[in-house]
Chain A
Amino acid sequence: MDIQEQRQGNVIVLGLVGRLDSLSCREFEGRLLGALSESGAVVVDCAAMEYISSAGLRVLLVAAKQARAANSRLALAALRDNPREVFDISGFSAIFAIHPTVDAAIASFG
């Protein structure tokens, strides 16, 4: 897994490349929580995310909790079909705004 980072104005965009599983999720957790506390507005670009396991979902859950407590914004963009299905069966699509593109996600922050 590789994490690519970009900034668009105040928003940090973290691009996930590859598999988010229990071998790679610790690194992603650090980066995501770091970005949230640094900028308060983070988009996770999932266009190149091939796979997400429950360990990966738990990282997103931890981040969602932190974002709620700190009133930060967290959104997901460009989820592929397979991970999208994982989001549906684990109920995560009920609590994450999933936008078709990174730009749409940034625009949703208002």
Chain B
Amino acid sequence: MLQTGYVLGAYRIETLLGRGAMGAVYRGVRIADGALAAVKTLHADLLAGGEREAMLARFHQEAQIGMRLRHPLIVRAYDCGEQDGLLYLTMELVEGQELGRLLTQQSALPLGMNLAIILQVLNALAYAHRQGVIHRDIKPANIMVRQDYTIALTDFGIAHLSGSQLTQVGELLGSPLYMAPEQLRGEPVDRRADLFSTGVLLYFLLTQHKPFIADSLAALMQKILHEEPLPPSVVRPAMPVAFDAVLRRALAKQSEQRFSSAAEFATALRQARTEALNATVIAPPTQNRRPTVPLSESEIADQATRVIPTAETLTGQMTALVQECLAERVTGVRLERLMEHLTMASTLAKRGSSRDGETADRRRLQQWCAGLPLAALAGQIQRDAPWPGRLLREARGDWLELVRLFALLYDAGRRIGATPDADAIRARMIEELIGAFLNYSNSLNQLLFSVDGPQLTRISADLMRLDLLQLALEELGADAEARHVRQTLLLFANQIMSRVNALIRQFLDSRDPLARFDVANLLVEVEELIALAERLLEGSSAVVSTGQPGGVAMAGFIDNARVLAEMLADELIQHLQQEHRGMVETGQSALRGGQAMFIGWLRQLGLLYRFAAHWQTGQARMEALRQWAEDMHRRLEEIADALLAALHTTGGAKSSGAADLLWTRLTVIAELAEQFGWPELRQRVLLAARSWVLID
């Protein structure tokens, strides 16, 4: 990571905007005139093997095309260079966020906004196409959306320049989900490939469903090449039918049947918009949800003049509500109604005692409070609590709501009048909750030092239960206690991580088979380990430092994650060899039996790599990380090659079960390669999938 003030070419680095697998993007200032820019850096050192060439080519391409295109809806590139082992590219700074990210935050954008985004993309493409540039990678991640919802098209890293020798026919770049059939087949592409991808994007924006989706790359390609997606108005009945025809044309398999230009596509889309506006669409009525926060004093005063039911009616209704909650389930609706009633009750109790009637009301309400079943409620909370290790059967799923009900009634009792023993009951409940944390120290030691190795699944489940108990403390308003137990949870996580580190070290030092067994058990629990590590990192800054609580355990685990990932890769390779031997000896495929485990290991490997690469900091560790990245890349490549070889020994039967299983594995490898920023490896798998699908 670059420090603020670092000078790269003509720019001074200000702040970090984002980090990817291979580099980062910073906000920079041009020293000469103070103009702002985005500075994208690439750690060329970190690129393993053939990935280096592929990545460098993309980077230069992006710079060249970005400098050549000048359009308000296309991100401009200013300059590119190399300094201190860093490649950098300076670009126009776009204040906004990726469409992809925007879509994960907002589940669906309004129709008008979706159309506006697509029309802008088409506008930008019309210009780029006129300049002889085919983008070839139109997808949400490559569209920046500014605050005012204007867009900026970016990442021309794999774009094609007419007449350029850089990209050759047969290459398979871009994201398969958005790729046109001819692009998948490796045929020469023209602007109509971009229009197809824009069609996929439009379909996704309108329906929140991707038109082509499948479990494996081979199956996905099959669909893009041969299958017609459902019309949007079928997927989403509220969608006007006018868009069906536009998308049918945009997503036509034959490029000649598509729109011939971005402008033509835009015209058809505008027309459909007009038709859709003319057709009346009746939207379902939206209910106004009334927030049910407790009322402030002044609001209560306002209510004092409102008509409030008599104390008798109120207490009758409240008793019924409490009974329903206890007998059936505490639901949000019941709690809301109870809160409204309790607010009215405290207003009634607060009214002056000038008249006899009102004093009687007050007395009646106080009697009601005195009769509240707080002890019974506390008993039920105790019985249903997710205590660590306790078996939960037929849970009602309303435990936290029960605690909330208790807190509500306790507060009402304090406001309206004395509820005998209420304080003692609440104090006992808090004590029991805290007790669970204190008692857990012992259980944790037993689970960590069990003869069968640390029982991580069990520990992880217990910590989750302690999280829930902590929520109950917050619900009861016991804030200091809740803070205290949060610290205890951190200590637990630290303790577990230290134990895990010790086990791995023990194995590395001794290479003892028994220690190997412990480590094998840890490997099964990688998900839990990473969840634990992230628990330690929660609330700490983005940089792991040994000065922080848990920092030493974390730093140790980052190193160990690398060792575990290497071991997993070895296991995977051995497993493949065994499968192969079994196949040769018995003539039977053993793939199905090992499939879940294989995929599991592959994913765990991915988790460990991403985790270690993400948290690795400091120049001294960079060299070690680079070597490791190289090593991981080689091993994953080896695994991919072995899988591809196995594919060809399945006898080429395209629809055989064995081939499907192998393609599922290869698809996971392609996903991992994409996440790690390894385009070359990903491309190799994609190309193999293409030949597989195309060869009849």
Contact = CB atoms under 8 A, between A and B. Distances in A.
B400 A95 contact: yes
A80 interface: no
B400 A9 contact: no
Contact of A97 (B329, B393, B465): B329
A108 B293 CA distance: 21
A2 interface: yes
Contact of A90 (B284, B291, B461): B461
Interface in A68-104: 68, 70-71, 73, 88-98
Interface residues of A, number: 44
B506 interface: no
Interface stretch (B12-20, B30-38, B331-339, B635-643): B331-339
Interface string B282-295: 00101101011100
A40 B289 contact: yes
Contacts of A110: 331-333
Contacts of B457: 89
Contacts of A12: 107
B527 A94 contact: no
Interface string B370-394: 0000000000000011100001110
B244 interface: no
Contacts of A89: 457-458, 461
A27 B675 CA distance: 14
A55 B534 CA distance: 9
Nearest to B292: A71
Interface residues of B, number: 52
Contacts of B534: 55
B468 interface: yes
A41 B528 CA distance: 30
A2 B480 CA distance: 41
Given A22-B531, A73-B332, A5 B108 contact: yes
A53 B471 contact: no
A61 B471 CA distance: 10
A107 B367 CA distance: 36
Contacts of B607: 22-23
Contact of A5 (B107, B332, B395): B107
A91 B461 contact: yes
B289 to A, nearest CB: 5
Q: Which of A54, A57, A68 has the most CB of B within 10 A?
A: A54
B530 A55 contact: yes
Contact of A23 (B108, B213, B292, B606): B606
Given A12-B107, A23-B607, A91-B392, 7 more contacts: A21-B603, A35-B107, A89-B458, A90-B461, A90-B464, A93-B395, A95-B468
Interface of B: 101, 104-108, 208-209, 213, 284, 286-287, 289, 291-293, 329, 331-333, 336, 384-386, 391-393, 395-400, 404, 457-458, 460-461, 464-465, 467-468, 471, 527-528, 530-531, 534, 603, 606-607, 675
Q: Considering the complex of A and B, which 7 residue pairs feature the smallest CB-CB distances, nearest first?
A: A91-B386, A30-B104, A91-B465, A110-B333, A97-B397, A94-B399, A90-B464
